[in-house]
């Protein structure tokens, strides 16, 4: 059993992104530009910290629990490295 400490109250995937093996391909299928729970600034930092092959799709108008209808062409921006 791990004893509780104040540091355990905060967890962000950005802090462990550098530990993802370079042999692992990481895909973030939807990064909502209107997301207040997982803000795009944090996802951009996550993207920059991943050293292996990666892909992210930024979606304009998407929030944490809402995805715009598919009829809006050109709202997505895809990055791959």
| Residue 70 zone, left/alpha/beta (φ > 0; ψ -120 to 50; rest) | alpha
In a domain, 80, yes or no: yes
pLDDT in tens, 13-47: 888 898 999 999 999 888 889 999 889 999 999 99
In a domain, 77, yes or no: yes
> Following DSSP, what letter does each residue of 16-70 receive, concatenated?
GGGGS-TTS-EEEEEEETT-SSS-HHHHHHHHHH--SSEEEEEETT--SS----T
In a domain, 19, yes or no: no
In a domain, 60, yes or no: yes
Higher-pLDDT residue of 22, 12: 22
The boundaries of the domain holding residue 71 are 36-81
Higher-pLDDT residue of 68, 50: 50
In a domain, 29, yes or no: no
The pLDDT value given to residue 20: 92
The pLDDT value given to residue 52: 94
In a domain, 16, yes or no: no
Q: Which two tokens stand for residue 23?
A: 């042999």
Mean pLDDT of the chain: 86
Residue 4: how many other CB atoms lie within 10 Å: 8
In a domain, 52, yes or no: yes
């Amino acid at each position: 059993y791990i004893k509780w400490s104040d540091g355990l109250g905060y967890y962000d995937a950005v802090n462990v992104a550098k530990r993802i093996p370079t042999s692992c391909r990481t895909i973030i299928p939807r990064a909502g530009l209107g997301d207040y729970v997982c803000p795009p600034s944090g996802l951009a930092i996550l993207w920059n910290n991943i050293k292996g092959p990666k892909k992210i799709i930024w979606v304009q108008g998407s929030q944490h629990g809402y995805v715009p209808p598919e009829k809006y062409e050109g709202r997505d921006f895809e990055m791959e490295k």
